[in-house]
Amino acid sequence: MEDSLKVAVLGGGSWATAIVKMLCENLNTVGWYMRSENSVQHIQENKHNPNYLSSTEFDTQKLFLSSDINEMVAFADVLIFAIPSAFLGEEIAKVDLPLHEKIVFSAIKGIEPKTGLIVGEYFNKELDVPFENIGVITGPCHAEEVAMERLSYLTIACQDEEKARKFSSYLAGDYIKCKVSDDIIGTEYAAMLKNIYAMAAGIAHGLGYGDNFQAVLMSNSIREMKRYIKKVHKMKRNINNSAYLGDLLVTGYSTFSRNRMFGNMLGKGYTVKAAMLEMNMVAEGYYAVKSAFELKQENAAKTPIIDTVYNIVYLKRSPKRQFKLLTELLD
């Protein structure tokens, strides 16, 4: 990757805002697309995102802001997608320019629901972006803690290690440590699966299970994740690395985790619709569990935790009854 490449973030949520904050500390100009023109104007006038991480102040001289996705795609050589996976297809449909010559990094920890593909595969198969130009930003890193400048660790995965290292230098700083990986598929599946396990942890908490059971659930979750990823993409990887286990733990335990919060509400008796309305945020695990369950039918992985969450969320089975059955399957 050349030094002169222009970088843009696409998305207006908390994770997009956190990534823009990291980039602004290392680059002179950062492109930032969000679909709300009101938000764009608010940032230009007040130097902060009105809806997410509002305490984070930006130097607007460094920002190239736009609510026109084509203007941003034309501006940038490196595109970082931080749009919730449920809306990715809708946003991509607005793009008139080809993406195959762009370097694309996904900060989306989910699955594109219409195709059932993880985001890297979606860009490759649907939009002809070559795999060597696709990267993934993952790791145990909550946007809220980035805003507070608490020490956080990211993993940058890309087939082209040189691109991963160069991109890491755009994000790394005093409170952001980066490491590189060549396991694009595995890290992206891990980022998607951990949202499902965080929902399971939340449901368990909502039902009144304690820390002892939570520990057993997390231990079984990492083993289930290992089995699942091995079935879809076999390669040498250490599942205990922070991109896999670390991301699972922070999402399963943290009060900042929206997937855990969503699961907690289901455990307390909320319907899926009521929980979504009250949260007013996208829980990626809701979409991920459907795709993960369907894909698992093809690869025959043993996934009792995914099955349990699927039964609760999509088949509307009783959380209490489903978790009673799950407790007999865990060890």
Active site residues: 194
For residue 314, give the H/E element and its range.
none
**How many angstroms separate the CA atoms of 260 and 199, rounded?**
5
Instruction: Evaluate whether 157 touches 181 at the Cβ level (below 8 Å).
Output: yes
Backbone angles phi, psi at 14, to 5 degrees: -70, -40
Structure tokens, 23? 């980039």
Q: Which of these, 130, 121, 188, lies nearest to 157 by C-alpha position? A: 188
Q: Which residue in 107, 82, 103, 73 sits closest to 163, CA to CA?
A: 103
CA distance 130 to 121: 10
Nearest Cα to 255, choosing from 124, 163, 144? 144
Q: How far apart are the C-alpha atoms of 328 and 205, rounded to whole Å?
A: 18
Which residues, including other chains, have CB under 8 Å from residue 124's CB and lie 6 or more apart?
Answer: 130, 131, 134
As a three-state string, the secondary structure of 251-281 is: HHHCCCCHHHHHHHHHHCCCCHHHHHHHHCC
**Token pair of 235, please?**
């390669």
Contact status, residue 153 vs residue 179, Cβ threshold 8 Å: yes
CA distance 272 to 286: 9
Strand 78-81 relative to strand 103-106, pairing: parallel
